[in-house]
Amino acid sequence: MEAYLIAILIVTAIYVLLSLGLTLQYGLTGLINFGHVGFFCIGAYAAAILSTAGSMPIAVGLVAGMLLAGLAAIPIGLVALRLRDDYFAIVTLGFSETVRLVITSEGWLTKGVQGIPGIPKLIDGVGTGPALMILALVGFANILAVIAFLRIVKSPFGRMIEAIRDNEDAVKALGKDPARFKIQVLVLGAVLAGLSGGFYAHYIGYVSPDQFLPIVTFYVWMAIIMGGVGRISGALVGTLLLMGFLEGSRFLRDLLPFISAVEMASIRIGAVGLALILFTIYRPQGLMGDYTRRK
């Protein structure tokens, strides 16, 4: 039983990292990123390609994934500054789909739709010992991310971001350029997503383009909306709720046998939708609160 729980915790930790990235972006800048899975995908594929075809050590792949995801965020950030938030959301959706199209088409690099199998594990070996070590590793990365998050928020950089959030015009009047700061936060969030993607690739051992559909971005949004937007604890709680929901539906069928198994997939997506609606209406918890100036 413990081995199964450890496996779930590892996947949860990977998703917490992903959620932290989105929380950073949305919480500090108010930018609506509907393309978060694109950064996740870049990190996963970078790690996959470098550790299989490139035969490089795992650490290299992970770092490369973080860097590439961060770099990809820069043009997104530049675009963000020119657009209203809802337009930006649509553009980011296009971004993640474009990433997926590129991965699908450039088979010489990514093996296209066949996917990349045989990605080495983070820590070799069978059984509970190595599994716990993997959990410790991903958990440690999470802790580092949280520390970094808190340091940023409390630093002069962080204070600048809050100032921008509270009164962007005043900041501009002081001669500071908010754009640069927003882009930096966007990049940091993308870096976390890229790292999360790398861990994911090494854990599941196989990546293919259809594992990086927009639904993943919306799962993460659901997690942070439920947990409480813009807060670290929110990312953690929300992701736990999300994983509980996704894995729990496996056991739900035993409790509700009259639901055809086939329809469980529909019910799952319906529940995600309902959660989004209900939380948006009744419990936004700062979802659209003071974090964005533009209404």
Q: Give, as ranges, the residues between 113 and 142 that touch another protein (CB under 8 A).
A: 113-115, 117-118, 126
State in angstroms the smallest separation of the CB of 110 from another protein: 12
* Nearer residue to another protein within complex by CB, 174 or 251: 251
Residue from 162, 169, 177, 263 binding another protein (CB under 8 A): 263
Residue from 210, 233, 244, 248 binding another protein (CB under 8 A): 210
Please give the C-alpha separations between residue 158 and each of 30, 48, 253, in angstroms, as whole numbers.
14, 34, 46
Please give the C-alpha separations between residue 84 and each of 23, 225, 278, in angstroms, as whole numbers.
19, 21, 25
Residue 70 contacts residue 191 (beta carbons within 8 Å): yes
Q: Does 74 bind another protein (CB under 8 A)?
A: no
Residue from 67, 71, 74, 104 binding another protein (CB under 8 A): 104
* Nearer residue to another protein within complex by CB, 105 or 155: 105
CA dist., res. 5 & res. 287, Å (int): 31
Q: Does 98 bind another protein (CB under 8 A)?
A: yes
**Where do runs of H (alpha helix) occur along the chain?**
2-29, 36-51, 58-82, 85-105, 107-110, 128-154, 156-166, 168-173, 178-204, 214-227, 232-255, 264-282
**Which three-class secondary structure state does DSSP give residue 175?**
coil
Binding mask 15-54 for another protein (x = CB under 8 A): -----------------x----------------------
Residue from 40, 181, 212, 221 binding another protein (CB under 8 A): 221
